[in-house]
Amino acid sequence: MRAAVIYESMFGSTRQVAQAVAAELAERMEVDVYEVGEAPLVLDEGIGLVVVGGPTHAFSLSRPSTRAEAALKAPDGLVSTQIGLREWLEAVEAPAGVQAIAFDTRVDRHFTGSAARSATRRLRRAGFRVLGEPVSFFVDGTLGPVAAGEFGRARLWAAEVGAAAFAMAR
């Protein structure tokens, strides 16, 4: 089985979590990692699992307006400068039966919005088989860094996702 990890990141935290997820998945399968602006809109037939991740902006996935606001705060420029995960999910063509799951990064543990929940709905609409509930990883402030313990939690989650993907593929 091959996996694609596709992320949108403003200041780098979501990219770092995506890399941790990909590193763990790579223990079980071949993994391609894409920044969303470079992700293919037609997935290879060999991809059996897609993991998408993005930052939570205004209770959901980013929009052009929230990305423009983020650009004003980015001391070194944005990581994702083209499309966002929202636009990619609207345009992607998934081969039948491809499993998918979403994660997001966000600042507040008590915050009710989630980019991953929105991404999960869009994954279903795009024709993916959603593998499980979305998950959030936390950052210490808008510009980061990733909160203590979250990389370990991301790797544990990715191991569970990989095992579930193999079990569902049988």
How high is the pLDDT of residue 110?
A: 67
- The better pLDDT of the pair 109, 128 is held by 128
How high is the pLDDT of residue 95?
A: 85
Over the stretch 23-69, which tens digit does the pLDDT of each residue have?
A: 999 999 999 999 999 999 999 889 999 999 999 987 778 888 878 88
What lies within 8 Å, CB to CB, of 131 at 6+ separation is: 49, 99, 100, 101, 161, 164, 165, 168
Reply yes or no on whether the pLDDT at 155 is more than 80: yes
What lies within 8 Å, CB to CB, of 103 at 6+ separation is: 17, 21, 51, 52, 53, 116, 134, 135, 136, 137, 154, 157
- Options 3.40.50.360, 3.60.15.10, 3.20.20.70, 3.30.70.20; which CATH number does 2-169 get? 3.40.50.360
pTM: 0.94
Over the stretch 117-126, which tens digit does the pLDDT of each residue have?
A: 999 999 999 9
**DSSP code, position 110:** T
Reply yes or no on whether the pLDDT at 81 is more than 70: yes
Q: Can you give the residue ranges of every domain in the chain? A: 2-169
User: Strand pairing of 30-35 and 135-138?
Assistant: unpaired
